[in-house]
A and B are shown apart, each in its own frame.
Chain A
Amino acid sequence: MRFVDEFRDPAAAREVLARIRDLAGDDRFKFMEVCGGHTHTIYRYGIEHLLPPGVEMVHGPGCPVCVIPMGRVDDAVFLASHRGVIFTTFGDMLRVPGSHGSLLDAMSQGADVRTVYSPLDALRIAEDNPDRQVVFFAVGFETTAPSTAVTLLRARAEEVGNFSVFCNHVTIVPPMRAILDSPDLSLDGFVGPGHVSTVIGQRPYRFVPDEYGKPLVTAGFEPLDILQAVAMLLVQIREGRCQVENQYTRAVTEEGNPAAMAAIAQVFEERPTFEWRGLGTIPASALRLREEIGAHDAERRFDLPGVPAADPRACQCGEVLRGVIRPWECKVFGTACTPETPIGTCMVSSEGACAAYYNFGRLHREAAEALSR
């Protein structure tokens, strides 16, 4: 982990912060970090209070856990509770509330739910339990879709007939477009997602400057990465430019990762529509398994209820995900909705804006400054 230390160097941070202050002057700027990983870093390192008061970071929809709608969580709970099923999932989906409880609740009722760190772990569980149906709960953007694709190809090649995937993979561009189209938001630019871009590259973001006139800088996940990206956005604005730029050059290329994109294309196809939590139904914004690999598709194998479920009325995750309100402006933030008893998804994942703010950020600027002296 030594290689990351230079991206956490306080002296370098002070330099970039001074540049940001110079560039921003007394003007106000609103930048959206699309990715939940960036949100986490911003609060984890106290970046919000290090930035000048005029530079505000708005948290975007790039938290895979946060955008899964309740109806899909209900389907996951249904699968997990199905007799003979071993349901495998990433740990942060366990606590996401559905309309009749979470996967954690299903576990307490006897469902066999197992946390995995990779879809390949789920495939191994299937191989070890040939008499059980093993379902993997696939979530995430183009970041995680390649590993699901590779796992599915291996399952097909090795004829692991008892393995299937409940696919909830989504793509990053459609929700960004939805946010740019939403009338209630005024942004000055984007800090572009890092991990997704290692797969899809820089090209897909060109519509942001070309069609909407906003600059975008793809950034890494260390605190210095994010500060540098903010400085690069301000430089573009001050120089009157509006482009897609890449701060995360150590990982992201213009073309992305063609092998990963090929695996996605081989296994998945676009869904006509997909419901996003808080953003509503967005056309061509998610992936499903192609016919050729349909034998491993949990949606084909099991008769899922597939009933859309409305969010609790008090929940304002949608407005948080669109960047319209800040986490603490939600009516139930920190009272009815806390990490212990989350109402909305944004309070569940460590990448969720509400959870990150609740866990790390509940400090006034003045208090933070006094303590770090």
Chain B
Amino acid sequence: MTTTSPAAASSAGAASAPTSASSAGAASTSASSTSASSAGAAGREEQVFDRIEAFRRRAPRLRDEHVTLAHGAGGKSSQALLEAVFLPAFQGEVGTDQPDAALLEPVAGERLAFTTDSFVVKPLRFPGGSVGDLAVNGTVNDLAVVGARPLGLSVAFVLEEGLAISELRDVVADLAEAASRAGVAVVTGDTKVVGRGAADGLYITSAGVGAVPVGRELGASRVRPGDVVLVSGALAEHGMAIMLARGNLAIDADIGSDTAPLNGLVEQLLAKAPGTRWLRDATRGGVGTVCNELARAADVTVVIEEADLPVRPVVAGACELLGIDPLYVANEGRLVAVVPPDEADAALAAMRSHPLGSGAARVGEIRREPPGIVVAVTPFGGTRIVDMLVGDPLPRIC
């Protein structure tokens, strides 16, 4: 909501401009009737030039209610959009020099982490968040799970001609708020506009640079048989929230996205369980897919105790009705952690003491045989393979 006040202020200022200009014009007309000297004519011309110059210096005003192709053309309309919508949200200063690249200052000796992601979710807003939240949290979380502290984010927008400016403002406000919640600045960005029908509302690509503190090592190669698998909270909330928000299912349930920045949770976890082997945020494809990636990368078996998976009854019910396995449903604020057995209790306690990890649970362990696969032990006592997801039951969820 930080954008509304500066944006409103700047448009109010701009709105007063034509009024003063026309009253000045009226004054000059009356002046011309009293004096006809050539020096007076030159002075008047000078006045007009001055006025034009002053007018040109004024911040371009965003009059449009919808995005037009002109907003992407790099001219005055683009400037208007930038100065009325984006800069106020990201605490940029209107009228100052906007360099082509941001300069970041990493600590000497730290490795840089660099990641990018595109966000094309439909609908743009959904219970628990919007594409703006996802664009920040998705990238912050990708940095967090390699152990990096975020240094700065970029956001690039592709807008569809005809998008309501108010909708864009809301998304940008969410994005700014999410960045401030994650404690990271949006340091650079870009906007392009494509013709109606060439995109669906708006797409965002974000990228992030982070720094990994010296001595911090996370990776699948460090995972060992006997290690313990934890998740940071209730699963499948984001994917089911999106599915229900699309409204083409006659199901009504109180499910909201879990979108959240995990960098704070990761710092707390690593402080209490420094031996943590591997972390991954369980986004598209869910915990099932993430565990498969681990099983293959580390050449181990990931055994999941299905009864221990934290899934809220309302989410489990919706999944059951739709025939979807919660293990494959996307999360946007949950991570999977593999920790050594002697740090499992400390890791679980550390996550649970963080607001975003209060629902953390121990869900399985790493075995040696058979390598490369994920197996779920069902509450019924049987076992089944948890394979990589085939196809896409829920397209465009992030």
Contacts and interface: CB of A to CB of B under 8 A. Distances in A.
A95 B323 contact: no
Given A1-B316, A1-B320, A339-B390, A8 B383 contact: no
Contact of A10 (B381, B387, B393): B381
B393 A363 contact: no
A44 B367 contact: no
Given A1-B317, A363-B375, A371 B381 contact: no
B369 interface: yes
Contact of B383 (A339, A358, A371): A371
B378 A117 contact: no
B380 A8 contact: yes
Interface in B364-392: 367, 369-370, 373, 375, 377-385, 387, 390-391
Contact of A46 (B250, B370, B383): B383
Contacts of B375: 363, 368, 371
A49 B250 CA distance: 37
Give chain A's interface residue range (CB within 8 Å of chain B).
35 or more
Contacts of B387: 358-360
Nearest to A342: B390
Contacts of A359: 385, 387, 390
A371 B377 contact: yes
Interface in B170-215: none
Contact of B378 (A1, A45, A116, A363): A45
B369 A45 contact: no
A372 interface: yes
Interface in B331-382: 367, 369-370, 373, 375, 377-382
Contacts of B390: 339-340, 359
A46 B301 contact: no
A95 B390 CA distance: 11
B29 interface: no
Contacts of A339: 390-391
B377 A1 contact: no
A112 interface: no
B249 A14 contact: no
B313 interface: yes
Contacts of B381: 10, 13-14, 46, 50, 372
A90 B384 CA distance: 26
Nearest to A120: B250
B384 A45 contact: yes
A56 interface: no
A363 B384 CA distance: 8
A327 B201 CA distance: 45
A362 B380 contact: no
Contact of A47 (B301, B379, B382): B382
A36 to B, nearest CB: 12
B379 A372 contact: no
Nearest to A2: B313
A44 B379 CA distance: 11
B117 to A, nearest CB: 24
Interface in B312-336: 313, 316-317, 320, 323
A367 interface: yes
A105 B390 CA distance: 16
Nearest to B384: A360
Nearest to A7: B380
Interface string A1-33: 110100010100110000000000000000000
Q: Is the interface of B mostly helix, strand, loop or mixed?
A: loop
A339 B375 CA distance: 18
Given A44-B378, A371-B375, A361 B391 contact: no
B382 A45 contact: yes
Given A117-B249, A367-B369, A1 B384 contact: no
Q: Is the interface of A mostly helix, strand, loop or mixed?
A: helix
A8 B323 CA distance: 16
Given A1-B313, A95-B391, A362-B385, A8 B303 contact: no
A280 interface: no
A14 B303 CA distance: 22
A146 interface: no
A360 B328 CA distance: 14
B378 A46 contact: yes
B19 interface: no
B96 interface: no
Interface string B285-310: 00000000000000001010000000
B393 A360 contact: no
B248 interface: yes
A363 B372 CA distance: 13
A368 B248 CA distance: 39
Interface string A303-344: 000000000000000000000000000000000000110000
Contacts of A13: 380-381
A270 interface: no
Contacts of A4: 320
Contacts of B250: 117-118
Contacts of A1: 313, 316-317, 320
Contacts of B316: 1
Contacts of A362: 373, 385
Given A44-B378, A91-B393, A121-B248, A368 B383 contact: yes
Contacts of A223: 378, 380, 382
A350 interface: yes
A43 interface: yes
Contacts of B370: 363, 367
Contacts of A372: 377, 381-383
B156 to A, nearest CB: 27
A215 to B, nearest CB: 25
Nearest to B307: A10
A-B pairs, 10 with minimum CB distance? A46-B382, A360-B384, A339-B390, A1-B317, A368-B383, A46-B383, A45-B380, A45-B382, A223-B380, A45-B378
23 contacts: A1-B313, A1-B317, A10-B379, A13-B380, A13-B381, A44-B378, A45-B380, A46-B381, A46-B382, A50-B380, A91-B393, A117-B250, A358-B387, A360-B384, A362-B385, A363-B370, A363-B383, A368-B382, A370-B369, A371-B303, A371-B383, A372-B377, A372-B382
Given A46-B383, A368-B383, A371-B367, 6 more contacts: A50-B380, A50-B382, A340-B390, A359-B387, A368-B375, A370-B369
